[in-house]
Chains A and B, each alone.
Chain A
Amino acid sequence: RKEVEQDPGPFNVPEGATVAFNCTYSNSASQSFFWYRQDCRKEPKLLMSVYSSGNEDGRFTAQLNRASQYISLLIRDSKLSDSATYLCVVLPTNKLIFGTGTLLAVQP
């Protein structure tokens, strides 16, 4: 079983839609979780950290469910500029483990 699993998509949604991505992880000792965004032909960049209590940044909400070992990202009111690959990242020890990424395409 992979350490971090994501639905690769693609998710094709219209502008203004709400879309959610899930990511499961296998190491129950993992302590830190993140969502990164990667634009085409660019390097990944941090979108947001994921805290135990859940956290929100504008249109983006991240949640952690330790019991079921998954993290989620919710994007409300999707914009064309949200089109990218979203990578979940888990930190079981000192190393960053990435999911394969979920491709989001927001359509006009």
Chain B
Amino acid sequence: DVKVTQSSRYLVKRTGEKVFLECVQDMDHENMFWYRQDPGLGLRLIYFSYDVKMKEKGDIPEGYSVSREKKERFSLILESASTNQTSMYLCASSLVVANTEAFFGQGTRLTVV
């Protein structure tokens, strides 16, 4: 059974904290993605990675960075959390080949207070 696992389901952090969201996949997928999902805005791509140590900015990378030191793990970092980063964060992975399914983790609901 394919699996994408996000480290936390719910997280509450204070403004200014450095926040790490971890995502691990066990399918040997090349591509990994981080999205945030907000009401009325849908899923917006923050960063994606198509190989180890490779990353590309998505549509809303400001305030975020990522790390992919190993193929199975893709971390999203909020350098200094702000209240407007309160959101649902979803990690996904897929093979590099087109027309293949992307698999999502269960999501992390982050609240910044």
Chain A residues within 8 Å of B, Cβ to Cβ = 6, 8, 31-32, 34, 42-46, 49, 87, 89, 91, 94-101
Contacts and interface: CB of A to CB of B under 8 A. Distances in A.
Contacts of B33: 95-96
Interface residues of B, number: 25
Given A8-B40, A94-B31, A43 B45 contact: no
Secondary structure of the B side of the interface?
strand
Interface of B: 31, 33, 35, 40-45, 48, 50, 56, 58, 90, 92, 94, 96, 98-99, 101-102, 104-107
B35 to A, nearest CB: 7
Nearest to B38: A100
B106 to A, nearest CB: 6
Given A43-B90, A95-B48, A99-B42, A31 B98 contact: yes
